[in-house]
Each structure stands twice: as C-alpha cells, then as structure tokens.
Amino acid sequence: MRIAVIGTGYVGLVTGACFSEMGNDVYCVDADENKIESLKSGIIPIYEPGLSAMVAANAACGRLKFTTSLPEAIKDSELCFIAVGTPMDKDGGADLRYVLAVAKEIGQNIDKYLCVVDKSTVPVGTADKVRAAIRAELDRRGVSIEFDVASNPEFLKEGAAITDCMRPDRVVIGADSERAAELLRTVYEPYVRNTGNFLIMDIASAEMTKYAANAMLAAKISFMNEIAGICERVGADVNKVRLGIGSDSRIGYSFIYPGCGYGGSCFPKDVEALIKTAEHHGFSADLLKSVTSVNDRQKHVIGNKVKAKFGNDLIGRKFAVWGLAFKPDTDDMRESSAITIIRDLVEAGATVAAYDPKAADEAKNRYLKDLPNIDYCDSKYDTLRNSDAMILVTEWKEFRSPDFYEIKKRLKIPVIFDGRNQYDAKLLDKIGIEYHQIGVKR
C-alpha cells in the first residue's frame, strides 16, 4: 500500500519507518528542508533504539522516501497520516494550527479518494475540524472529491517505540465509514496478527482514548508520589508499600514507582489538554488538576532534600547529576525533572557536573543553555570529582549497578540523592554512603 506520513518528528518518523518495514511504500513529508535533506543523508534527528537502522534499510531499498512536497506524497496514496506536532497552547490546550494547516493543504491538492488519519495526539472534535478544513478547500476549488477522516492515536513509549509499533498492545481506530475502517484494518493486519487486538470505535471515543490512557498513567505516578510524601513523614518505607499494593492484581506494579516526577512530550501536555477540554465543556477535572500539581511539586523534592542537608545557600557547593533525559533510552528532555532539579541547585548558588549518555547536547544547546555553572562530563564518574554529593535523576541502565566504592572515593562527601529509588539502602549504609531516597525517612 502507498502511504503518506506528514511530519517527521518522533511519531511520524517511527510510524513511517515501521510501515515501510512491512513492505508498504511510504512517503514521509516535512516542511523543514534541512531535516529532509538530513534524513535523505541518513542523519536521524532523534535518538530511538533501532530507528536509525530501520530507516537506513528501508530507504536503501526505496520503500521509505523523504520529501518536502505534500502533493507528491499524497499522489496515488490511499492513506495519509497526519503526525505533526500539537504543542501546548497558551491556555494549556492543544495547539492545532499545524494539524489544520496540513488539512488545508490536503484539500488544496487531492484529486481522488484519500483516507486522512489523525495520528497526532488531538482533542475530541479534531477530526471534525480536519474534515471541515478539507471540505472548505474542495468547495473553494469547486470540486467534489470523496474522502474520509479517521483517528488512529499512537501509544508509543520513547525508548521502546519500534517494539510498540511493530508489536502493539492494541491498535485503536476511530472511523465513521466502512471504507476507512477496512483500509486501516488492512494496513495494520500484519502488526496485530498474533493478538487480534484491533479496536474500531467512533472517532470521538478514539480521540478520547489516547488522552484517557496518558492521564491514567500520569495519575498512577502522582498517586504514588503523594503516598511517598506521606510515608516519609510517618516513618513508612514507600518501597515496601509499593510491593504491598502492587501485589494486588487490581493495582499491579506498573507506574507505581516513586520518583522525582514525570516528564516527556506526552503526559504533561496531554493531562493539561484534557483539563482544558473538560473546561471547554463546562466540567472541572479536579482529579487531573491534582495530578499536575502533585507532579509539579515532586520535581522540587530532590532540590529540597539537598537544601535540607547542605542549607539553602549552596554557594561553593558542587553536585554531580546523573541523567538529563526525562527517561532512559531517549535524548528527549521535554519537561524533564532534571531541568527543575538543576535549576533549583544553580539558583541557590551551586555548580553542577552533569552526565547523560544521550541528552547532553539537548541540555547544552536547548534546555539548559541559559543556566550558568554547569559542566557536561564524558562519563558518570567524571562528574564526581570535587562534588559534594551525587544525584540520580534518570535510571539509565549504566547507572543501575555502579561501583559504589569508586563513588565514595571520588566524592568529597559520600552522599547520594536518589530520585528514582534505584539502590540498596543497606548496601550503601554498609559501604558508608549516606543515602537519601524518595518516600523514605532518614
């Protein structure tokens, strides 16, 4: 099948690569000429395990092409996936300008039937707006061309996106025509052959499913962080509480790890967008507001622990920070807890030595470029020299079993602040390292 994917960001590039991997002819479109030229040259703008090799292999055999021309991409295509960004608007809602701009251009150029699929994370009602934008351009041209608009929300986890795309837990389709539903069933059949988990529903429900899924996961994280705060004050150990409640099959262990807050491109933006959607329809999403406020507060917990140990004035202090990305196996720093933690330390007068296997350039060139007193190191142990403490922010695999004796030797003061509760408190106590966790009173 010939498929057009509009947008070569995280979702669009992964989706296009995985469609081509199954033998489809895919055109990936982006308005950024430099990005397209880089992709043609084999330069991938994001880090995602397995993506570079998949793009290279399918581009080499001609199944995956890159262009700045939407008309070229949709010519002879049966499906067109819109995968452009939907950043947070000024009021917290989803900014649909890029989605609707694509819809307008589609309306200006289609000359035969096309199924247009919203792959971007968009609020309920977006498919209607896309349909109206396409229809308006067709009316302006004075032509009548049949088309469908469907919803196919993505459920990709950064760091595991290729696996999620090739072997999805479920494929959710929102469609109001049998033709659109069958086209999407055909293209996704190889991906769900083993599970059969292909869910067709109305468009509004499909649009809502994505937001509801992310809001639920964010709520679990904030709930556990709230419990951690209580545990720390009453003398309970949140790590033991987590095991106690996770063993209940109704709750499970996923997304109930205490930590220094969630980040990324999805959870913060999508929870805010769902809150705004509710408000636009006269409903106050009070639980979701609390999820956000708990998470905002949680990002300051490590900074507060550091100040409780060393004082509010951190002038002359240096701290080693392990991890900058919002999660392992990505270079994405959007809404990362590391940004808040490092800002708290620097604004209190401290110097920071930071290391991340993939996200250092993102920090230097974008997210932390305006902050002084940050040194970026080439290894995790290099950050420890003359540092007063080590702070773990991102649970990369290489941080999980470090040489604690080496850490103790290199630090000025043997102290670890663990923002992800990764380490064995008894082991560190035996070695002689002062250990501060989330949700455990010292």
Angle at alpha carbon of residue 122, lines to 102 and 86, rounded to 5°: 60
pLDDT at 416: 98
**What is the pLDDT at residue 442?**
86
pLDDT beyond 80 at 223: yes
The pLDDT, as a whole number, for residue 311 is 98
Q: What is the mean pLDDT of the chain?
A: 96
SS (H, E, C) 270-319: HHHHHHHHHHHCCCCCHHHHHHHHHHHHHCCHHHHHHHHHHCCCCCCCEE
Q: Which of 80, 231, 266, 377 is catalytic?
A: 266
159-215: pLDDT as tens digits: 999 999 999 999 999 999 999 999 999 999 999 988 779 999 999 999 999 999 999
Residue 67 tokens read as 């262009």
Q: How far apart are CA 394 and CA 43, in angstroms?
A: 26
Please report the pLDDT score of residue 265 as a whole number.
87
Q: How do strand 318-322 and strand 198-201 relate by DSSP bridges?
A: unpaired
The pLDDT assigned to 89 comes to 84
Contact 407, 382 (CB under 8 A): no
248 φψ region: left (φ > 0), alpha (ψ -120 to 50), beta (else): beta
Instruction: Give residue 120's pLDDT.
Output: 93
Average pLDDT over residues 250-278: 95
Q: What percent of the chain has pLDDT over 90?
A: 97
Residue 389 has pLDDT above 90, yes or no: yes
| Residue 101: burial class (beta carbons within 10 Å; 0-12, 13-18, 19+) | middle
Active site residue 266: yes
Helix (H, G, I), strand (E, B) or coil at 354: strand
Please name the residues in contact with 350: beta carbons below 8 A apart, sequence gap of 6 or more. 314, 315, 317, 318, 319, 373
pLDDT tens, position by position, 62-120:
999 999 999 999 999 999 999 999 988 888 888 999 999 999 999 999 999 999 999 99
What pLDDT, on a 0 to 100 scale, did the predictor assign at position 88?
A: 83
Query: So what's the pLDDT on residue 288?
Result: 98
Query: Is a pLDDT exceeding 80 seen at residue 254?
Result: yes
Average pLDDT over residues 37-65: 96
In this prediction, residue 93 carries a pLDDT of: 86
Kindly give, in sequence order, each residue whose CB lies less than 8 Å from that of residue 427, ignoring residues fewer than 6 positions away: 404
Q: What is the pTM of this model?
A: 0.92
- The pLDDT of residue 384 is 98
